[in-house]
Chain A
Amino acid sequence: MSYLFKLALKNIQRSKIRTVLTFLILSFGVGIYIFFSCLMDGFDKDSIKNVIDFETGHVKVRSAMFDEDRPYATENFIKNSKIVIGKIKTLGFVTGVTERLQFSAELDNGMDAMPVIAVGIGPADNAVFNMEKYIVEGALEENGAIIGKPLAKDLGLQKGDMAYLTFRNQQGMMTSAEVMITGLIQSANPQVNSSAVFIKLDEARQLMMTRDAAEIIIKTNDFFKAEEYTARLRDTLEGLDVGVFSWKKLSEDFRAMMTMKKKFQNIFVLMIMVIAIVGIVNTMLMSVYEKKREIGTMKALGFTDKEVQKLFLVEGTLIGVAGGIIGLVLGTLFNAYFAFKGMNMDAMLGDQDWGMPVMGVIKSTWMLSAYVKAMIFTLAASLIASYYPAKKVTKMQAMECLRTVQ
């Protein structure tokens, strides 16, 4: 085997330009696969983080009457939120719990109005969500509101400006309240930026003329155990007329989009890999035709068909391994930039909400499984790509090869 390895190595060096081109195609394919997988993994992780940090928490408690089709209807409010929170706090895995009161409204600057979601947030909000980190100007004050920067831009509002929040309260009366914009937020979740108006929970309750909460959001010590904790919370809160949902359940639509995105990503990567395989097949076939006389000589000298076949398989595998390793290095270099510097989505898409819960700088991850998969795929692809040319060699008789005019 070591002799065949040596011969294969010499053969690879024969047509340097062709070998280098094959290496490049293969390494580019592997590099792109690694880079793309790591970037998408970063994208997915950021998306999940943003969904948890701005929308769902780890576990959410809603009224048992919650209507998915009218998520901001006042009928969805939890009547006994204080008792529910008290019970939740008795569980050891709960690290934070807060209640929010959301209702649909319009924000009016005196000239134009935009549909928004008013969100009343309690003092414990920071124990669950990560909002404060993203406030770029001002703070949430008495009779004030924090709105997203893009929303402020759309309505021509600045910190210190007055605006009107118009909504229907729990009793069904249309109400309008004057609020001062006391802060601006630029979060990593475009939905928050474009449609949320944060006010204090007590003020939201006064405006809605209610003592209820729309939802109770819980942070646990391990979000991977959200399903298990959800089950335990359901047991604890049994009989209180509430439903308990994990972040996974609440982000089903978004996760379905992620799955679809992954499928497209796989098709794209598969296409690159097919190109890489065609490259190796081409190189190996050229190699077989070029070396027909040599193959004949080798067979005349006593090489068995299997030994000649092995020679070509080793040659293909060497191309695969070398191309794969170069690809790993290329992928690492591409990925290093985006893992440390990140990709600025704002620079690419501005403030547009494109349906995914990510904004700002997305950093790619170091996804070990992508490296392992790329290497396994490259080796398998090289072997498959070399098999046909190698089989072709086996079928040729020594004399048939020696008669070739070159």
Chain B
Amino acid sequence: MLLEVKNLNKTYRSGKVHFQALHDVTVSIDKGEFTAIAGPSGSGKTTLLNCIGTIDSADSGQLLLDGIDLIGKTSDQLAKLRKEYFGFIFQTYNLIPVLTVYENIEMPLKLLRQDGADVLGKKVMTMLEKVGLRGLAKRRPLELSGGQQQRVSIARALVKKPKMVLADEPTANLDSKTGEDIVGLMQDLNKNEGVTFVFSTHDPLIMRHAKRLIEIRDGRIAS
């Protein structure tokens, strides 16, 4: 089992207002899955995804990644885990605007500090090839379409070959044709590279292609 979530609780607090986004959520994800966490807006799917990715903290419960409990780890320990285990794809792409496409994709590799310049360059160019953006390596994100930016975001998430890619509504800002292309691309990478994908989505397109569907409602797993 790659990931086990046990009795996870998360409450957002803003002054006197408390909102419990996750109630005793228990779920597990295996290696190579192509799983969608689906539910309406405000159901807690993004919160669950963010807690899994350790970019948001849970109040209680267990989060076991390869048997390591992530709850209670320090900020630096979590950063190290994120660097090695996870790739993130965001709804709004979140590319760094001052960096070129190439530089955005190389960033996770630079952080890992494992490869020399040659190997690193080859990895980035291979990823660019896979996402069909080889000719756009020197462009900046703002010079690209939404679909192209999301491809860069996918390339950035996958270039370091993470154990798990967490994608938060990756098709929400794309038209249906581009969304179809992006989902197809991620499916190929899942099939050919064995990368585990977990999505939060309410896009029927992703739900249709997902191998497994986890439904969440009002912060509870519905099915």
Contacts and interface: CB of A to CB of B under 8 A. Distances in A.
Interface string B74-115: 011001101110101010001111110000000110111000
Interface string A7-20: 10011011000000
Given A300-B82, A302-B84, A397 B111 contact: no
B222 interface: no
Interface stretch (B33-41, B49-57, B205-213): B49-57
B79 A294 contact: no
A305 B75 contact: yes
Contacts of A306: 76
A370 to B, nearest CB: 36
Contacts of A303: 79, 111
B78 to A, nearest CB: 9
Given A14-B98, A294-B96, A397-B57, A301 B107 contact: yes
Given A11-B98, A14-B98, A301 B82 contact: yes
B149 to A, nearest CB: 13
Count chain A CB atoms within 10 A of each CB in B55, B80, B83 and give the residue with the most. Answer: B55
Given A294-B96, A296-B94, A301 B75 contact: no
Count chain B CB atoms within 10 A of each CB in A296, A397, A399 and give the residue with the most. Answer: A399
Interface string B192-203: 000000000000
Interface in A21-44: none
Given A303-B79, A304-B76, A305-B79, A293 B50 contact: no
Nearest to B87: A301
A402 B53 CA distance: 13
Nearest to B168: A402
Contact of B79 (A14, A293, A302): A302
A200 interface: no
A398 interface: yes
Given A397-B56, A399-B55, A304 B94 contact: no
Nearest to A4: B110
Interface string A370-406: 0000000000000000000000000001110010000
B81 to A, nearest CB: 8
B94 A402 contact: yes
Contact of A3 (B57, B75, B110): B110
B84 A300 contact: no
A158 interface: no
Contacts of B83: 301-302
A304 B83 CA distance: 9
Contact of A302 (B57, B80, B96, B99): B80
A285 B156 CA distance: 28
Contacts of B110: 3
Contact of A300 (B53, B57, B75, B99): B53
**Chain B interface: which size bin?**
20 to 34
A301 B111 contact: yes
Count chain B CB atoms within 10 A of each CB in A3, A301, A306 and give the residue with the most. Answer: A301
Interface string B51-81: 0010111000000000000000001100110
Contacts of B98: 10-11, 13-14
Contacts of A10: 98-99
A14 B99 CA distance: 10
A304 B79 contact: yes
A300 B55 contact: yes
A293 B96 CA distance: 9
Given A11-B98, A14-B98, A302 B56 contact: no
B102 to A, nearest CB: 13
A298 B108 CA distance: 9
A305 B78 CA distance: 11
Contacts of B96: 294, 297-298
A299 interface: yes
B82 A399 contact: no
Interface in B159-173: none
A101 to B, nearest CB: 79
Count chain A CB atoms within 10 A of each CB in B79, B88, B94 and give the residue with the most. Answer: B79
B80 A305 contact: no
Contacts of A397: 55-57
B56 A300 contact: no
Nearest to B153: A297
A11 B156 CA distance: 20
A298 B79 CA distance: 10
A300 B88 contact: yes
A210 B177 CA distance: 116
A7 B94 CA distance: 16
Contacts of B75: 304-305
Interface in A159-190: none
A294 B97 CA distance: 9
A355 B80 CA distance: 68
Interface in A307-328: none
A13 B75 CA distance: 30
Nearest to B95: A297
A7 B111 CA distance: 12
A10 B96 CA distance: 10
Interface in A267-303: 293-294, 296-303
Given A10-B98, A297-B96, A399-B50, 12 more contacts: A11-B98, A13-B98, A296-B55, A297-B90, A300-B82, A300-B94, A301-B88, A301-B111, A302-B112, A305-B79, A397-B56, A402-B94
9 contacts: A10-B98, A294-B96, A299-B55, A299-B79, A300-B86, A301-B107, A397-B55, A398-B56, A402-B90
10 smallest A-B Cβ distances: which pairs? A302-B83, A398-B55, A399-B56, A297-B94, A10-B98, A304-B79, A302-B82, A3-B110, A304-B76, A300-B88
